[in-house]
Every structure is written in structure tokens, then in C-alpha cells.
Structure 1
Amino acid sequence: MSPIKNVAIIGGSGNVGRPILEELVAAGFKVTALTRATSTSTFPESVTVKKVDFSSPESLKEAFAGQDAVVSAIATVAVDSQEPIIDAAIAAGVKRYIPSEFGVNTRLTPGTTIGKILAGKVAVVDYLKTKESPNFSWTGVSTGMFFDWGLKHITGIDFDKKTVRVVDSGNEKFQASNLHFVGKAVASILKHPEQTANKYLSVASFNVSVNEIIKTIEQLTGTTYAVDKVSSADLEKLGADKLAKGDYSAFGPLVTAWNYADGANKGLTPETSANELLGLKEEDLKETVKAWLVKEGKL
């Protein structure tokens, strides 16, 4: 497979899309950000911006002309709009498509309650599998929780009340990635097109437990936090009840139970992690937590 040089990104101004775009630029790719005509998002000067009508196959095909790869960072609520985008990319000669996965490993979710919310993502990867050819391939990427972006949610911390939330024992290790680590993973995938073709990969900055995070916060701040114990079974029931009513805030309790429940097994092992394949090293937990605490004004 020839090297990938030109990369188009959709959703490049979002919480996960922005760091992916920045890491693609840093890795030396020629990056094009595709936006809606009404978008007011701004990008680095080195990034080409194209206004696209995402409902028009011809507009998409024109935007994808000359692109080697497309990275989708479309929000979860819009993931089911990707099939026409994939078709247009193939028609334009794009060689690699990275769907809007990231987060939860959706290959594990069919048949589960959280899987009902993530069914659109599952369907997109299934669709990509049907499009594999000598000229077109895909790579899915699971990154676990967005660590530096979501630490307040992960710990349920209340700095004023000096409390933290612990699900079950709090000892269960789970997969989590800093946002720029997600971007580095995407860049490395595109730097290694042959090794990553038609694969679903899982990466992580950390495989860590909530108790380990809380201990690190307490060491850095010199403060002891009271523990608010929560049952994963209660969270699962809360999420299921919300979802039954069409309330998609169900994702919060469901993803919390998914990751932190005792026996969840959402941490990566050397056998399930693609860090080594992509030349990625786990990051420094203490330094990440410290930077977050400084940002929060707590150090």
C-alpha cells in the first residue's frame, strides 16, 4: 500500500476531533478539515478548509478528491450518517477510512443495554467490513474513557464537599486515553497503513482503577476525600430505565457501570492492546492528574 499523505477530517473542531487534527498536522500529514457551510470553526493556517454539503454525494465526492484517508470524528448522535460518507470516499478513491469510534470498544456492546445507544457505531464498522477491497480499507480505534477531558466525571469528585464517587470496590482497572494520545494513535495508524488495515484496535494512555486515581489526587493535593459508594447494578438499572423512556442521558450511568463495575474487565492486556503495534507508550498518570488539577485551580 502506498504511503498516506493527504488526510481529510470530519468533526475536526470537536472535543476529540481537534486533538486528532493537531496530531495529524504534527505528524506531517497534509490535513483538510471538512465543515458545513454554516460552520464558524477556525483551524491552523496549515489546514485546508472545505465547506461541504454532507447531504450531497457529489459535494462529498468532490471534497474527497485527492485524499488518501478520511478520519471521522462525528458526534455519536450523527454516526449513522457515515454510510453515504463512506460511499463517497470510496467513489473518490480514498484508501483508508477511520470511523467515529474512539471511546467504548463497540465490538463488545451488541446484546447489552449500552449497545442500544451505540448500535449506530456497530453498524458503521459492519458496513465498512463489506466494503473492503484491494483499494479500500478501514481501521476502528477504541480508546476507552477520555481521561484528561473527563476526570471530573470519572472520579465524581466534589472539591467543595471533598467527596468522590466509587463504583463497587473501585479496584477495577479500565481503559482510558488522554485526548492527544487519541490523536497520536490515529496518526500512527495512518503512518502504518499495511499493519493496521481492516483491523479494530484498542489503545490506552492508562489501564487504571478509580482508587488509583483518587489516591493520586489525594497525594497531590494533601486532601483526603470521603467516598460515596455506588452500586454498578443500580447504575445499570438507572440507565436502562432512562433508556426505556427515550432519555439518552442514560449513557452516563451505563458507561460508568460498563467501565468500573467489579469484573467488567475493560482494562487492556498486552495481548489486547495495540500500543506496541503503533509505537505508543502509556503516559504518566501523576503528571496527567497534576496538569488537570492545575487547570481546575486546585494546585
Structure 2
Amino acid sequence: MATTYKSFAVVGGGKLGMPIVKALAAQNGVSVILLSRSGTTSEISVPAGVALEKVDTADAAAVAAVFAQHGVEVVISTITSAAVGAQTVLVDAGKRAGVKLFAPSEFGMSTEGDSKNPKNKVIEYMKGAGVSYARFFVGMITEFVPFLIGLKDGKITLAGKGDAPVSFTSLADIAGFVAHVLTILPPSELANRTFRIEGDRSTMSGLGAIFNAEVEHVDKIGGPMGEFKTMMLLMTDTGVGSTGWDAETKKEKTGSDAAGSANVLWEGHHWRSIKEVHNLA
């Protein structure tokens, strides 16, 4: 039995999926495929040695055939939050093809303990199917912060109080960590495990000082994607923005489940701060 996993499939080549593909492809002795929907017309450029497979991701048999063809051991899903429920097809395909581990599309705020969250329903589906999972909680993706807070002309706009701690992690750190632990740790240390990482930590209001900007609090955000921004900002007030948050107990976890507790698994790595990512003095 292999001591570490060597064959990976990434589903979705977007802003997070492609960095994960590149980070995996940079590992020695690893094979990687990228799955893209068969109806996709845009050109996708993949690193040398990475196979691009266009397949109907709603067809479990077709996806299973691709997994089996490439001997895939680990599937990493980076599909959008709006489509997380569709991952059950990928789980079924993985089960048919003998996939050993499935990393569902989390890569955001903590969802643990929130029984109504569709992401947890996917976890329950995997448990029922007997498929092992690895979850990655990263908090807010640092590169997306200016968009969320409407940074403009020395001012940021927040819905809610913005006084709860939030974890922030850069795309490079997320991708690098995922590739690192999935290729370094043995299967027994990956199965049914939650990884809580954190590149930096602040409150949303505290971002004013970091970006040297005035903070304006409003009831709701207007303009394009205003409803989405309002929802995300109000969610952080509940505490879920921290990767150590448990929605069931409404408390921060501690010890090996605390926010950023998994950072130690990437020994010697420098985690990028908010200021570093956005080139702030």
C-alpha cells in the first residue's frame, strides 16, 4: 500500500482550482488531471504534465471512467458554493472508480456544526457512501478582501459591526498547503480530517487600520453584488469567519482544532499577511 497519495484530480480550474493544480504539479512523482465541464468553450491552459479532461460532471459513469483511466486516488473539488450539492455525483463517480479520498469544496469559512449548510450535507453523503473526506477551512481569501469591503478612495464600507475575529488566507498559501499535506501525509492522517489554516487574523473593522482607510458602517451594501457582500459581512459577525469556529456550540475551538492549528503541518512555511498580499507598507 502506498505511503502517500500520488494521483490527483482537481474539479474546476478557476481562481482557486488552477493554483491547486499548479501546486500539485510542482510536487515530485505526482500525476494530476483537471476536470472541466464538457460544455466549456473557453481555452484552459494547464501546466506541463497535467492532463485536461472535459467531461459531463453530471454523469457519474462518465466521470468515473475518467477517474479510473488515470488511476485517481484523490479528488479535490473547487466548484462554486452555488453548486456544492452537485458534488454527490462526483462522490458516486469516485466510489465507482475506487477513489480513496475526496476533498469537497469548502475553502472558506467554517461550516462545522451548521447542519443546514449544503456543504455539511455533502459530508453526510460521503459518510453514507463510505468515502473518506478531507476538509479545508481557510476563512476569507485575502486577495478578495478589497472587493468585499468596497475599498475606494481611502474608505471601506461594512454591513454589521465587524468586531468578530476573521481568518484570512492567501490563494498561494491555500493551494500550497493543500498540495503539501495531500502529498506528504499518509492516508491514515488525511481520512475524515478537518484542516484549519490561517494566514492572518483581524476583525473586519480592523481592516480599516490595515488598509489605512476610514470605516463606514451601513445596514446593507448597495451596488453590484451588494446582497452577496451584505450577507458575507453579516455572517462574519456571527463568528464563522474564524477557521476555529464551531456553529453548533457557537464558540471558538481550542488546541488541535483552533484557528490556524493546521499551519504547523507546513513546517518552515511563511504565511502571507494581509499587508504582504496587498503590498501595504
TM-score normalised according to structure 1 size? 0.76
Structure 1 pair 168–249 and aligned structure 2 pair: CA distance change class (3 A): closer
* Aligned partners of 1:216 and 1:289 also within 8 Å: no
Deviates more, 1:79-88 or 1:34-43: 34-43
1:103 aligns with 2:80: no
Identity %: 26
Give, as a single letter, the amino acid of the residue that structure 1 aligns with 2:8: V
Number of matched residues? 257
Alpha-carbon offset, residue 107 of structure 1: 1.7
Q: 2:36, 2:157 → 1: CA distance?
A: 39
Q: What's 1:19 paired with?
A: 19
Q: Determine if the alignment matches structure 1 residue 177 to structure 2 residue 172.
A: no
The reply on whether 1:164 has 2:141 as its aligned counterpart is no
1:103 Cα offset (Å): 0.9
Instruction: Within 5 Å, give how 1:102-251 maps onto structure 2.
Output: 102-110=107-115, 119-132=117-130, 136-148=131-143, 150-159=144-153, 162-166=154-158, 170-191=162-183, 192=185, 193-218=187-212, 225-230=213-218, 234-235=219-220, 250-251=227-228
2:140–2:168 Cα contact (<8 Å) kept: yes
- Compute the RMSD of aligned alpha carbons: 2.7
State the alpha-carbon separation in 2 of the partners of residues 195 and 288 from structure 1.
Answer: 31
Please list every run of 5 or more consecutive structure 2 residues that lacks an aligned counterpart in the other structure: 245-253
Counterpart for residue 250 of structure 2 = none
CA distance in 2, matches of 1:283, 1:270: 22
- Of 49, 57, 61, 2:64 maps to 61
Give the conservation status (yes or no) of the 8 Å contact 1:72–1:98.
yes
Partner of 1:277: 265
Q: How far 1:209 moved relative to its partner?
A: 2.4
AA in 2 matched with 1:277: L
What residue ranges of structure 1 are gaps of 5+ in the alignment? 219-224, 239-247, 294-298
Please name the residue that 2:45 is paired with.
42
2:84 maps to 79
The secondary structure found in structure 1 opposite 2:64 is helix
Partner of residue 96, structure 2: 91
CA distance in 2, matches of 1:176, 1:270: 19
Contact 2:162–2:233 under 8 Å retained in 1: no
- TM-score by length of structure 2 reads 0.81
2:226 and 2:150 mapped to 1: Cα distance? Answer: 16
* 1:245 matched residue in structure 2: none
Cα deviation for residue 23 of structure 1 reads 1.2
Q: 1:176 is aligned with what amino acid?
A: F
Q: Aligned with 1:275: secondary structure?
A: helix
Question: Do 1:6 and 1:69's aligned partners in 2 also have CA atoms closer than 8 Å?
Answer: yes
Q: 1:105 to 1:217 in 2, by over 3 A?
A: same
Aligned-residue offset at 1:53: 2.1
Task: Report SS of the residue matched to 1:88.
Answer: helix
Q: Which amino acid aligns with 1:202?
A: R
2-side partners of 1:198 and 1:163: how far apart? 42
